[in-house]
A = this chain, B = another copy of it.
Amino acid sequence: MALSSARAATPASTPSLVHHVFFWLKRPGEQADRNQLIAGLRTLRAIPVIRDLQIGVPAPTEERSVVDASYDVSELMYFDNAADQKAYQDHPIHQAFVKQCEHLWQKVVVYDMQVVPGR
A interface residues (Cβ-Cβ under 8 A, vs B): 1-4, 14-15, 17-20, 22, 31, 35, 38, 42, 45, 51-52, 54-62, 64, 66-69, 71, 74, 76, 78, 82, 85-86, 89, 108-116, 118-119
B113 & A45 in contact (Cβ 8 Å cutoff) = no
Oligomer copy total: 2
Distance (whole angstroms) from the CB of A84 to the closest CB of chain B: 10
Distance in angstroms between the alpha carbons of A113 and B22 in the assembled complex = 10
Counting chain B CB atoms within 10 Å of each CB, which of A45, A60, A119 scores highest?
A: A60
- Given known pairs A61-B85, A67-B112, A112-B67, the reply for A54 and B18 (CB within 8 Å) is yes
Residue of B nearest to A38 (CB): B116
